[in-house]
Structure 1
């Protein structure tokens, strides 16, 4: 008889509702890991986006320069009005660059606060130098009057790196 009285109590369901503290802690730990991954990934994605935009802008500027050179029989125009074209890019020659660059590849340290773009014609990019330096354009290595080089910087993790692009 004792077994019959005890059996219904053992089969009775518990009426407890909600989550245990362990289940809540596991969910919070998983959410914390997801937030950590997002906070680590977002700055790198933003940096890559800015670098892609910089390269795109420099490529467009070089393309505009090449178009201006082609339209002007191989030379840059001596002056340009601000209202020409869509007003996005305006290029003009500030001097004859054909003799002003050396025939050797010069390596120069680039200041991390220098955010500009150096564009020269009759030049090609030199060899890839050490980090923090830029291969300055040269007038050797197959450069022609229509060759254009741009030296600009991109962001890396906590620093900057100089890029050279020629067309």
Structure 2
């Protein structure tokens, strides 16, 4: 059975690899992301969510991407101006609107996704499919655990801030 120190050492190693991964990802984003239509990376995340999950209210979109509704509203306004997202009347509540990707938004998303998939395939070119599937499973598990841990993290940060006041 592993000791607490072994688990913490492993967490440290994973933390270092995650920092390395994020730096490499940021560098790749700068290199490959040419901001067509003048849309920032965060805007593309919102558009992607709308393409994949369908029309949503701003509040639901903000919850889904773990962001503040006012931030999402600003980013959505940019996407609307670029013709990539549109506002539609909510059929369940005429006072509210739904955000939906336009045909141009879906096409841009599909084009960027195809390019991304090509680059990932090239990077993992020497990996056997079994190992690729394992990577997807582990990333999915990590992302799920991060999402599930967020409330605990928020509580711990709030308590830490209280203690330092």
TM above 0.5: no
Structure whose residues are more often strand by fraction: 1
TM-score, scaled relative to structure 1: 0.28
Structure whose residues are more often helix by fraction: 2
Which has the higher Rg, Structure 1 or Structure 2? 1
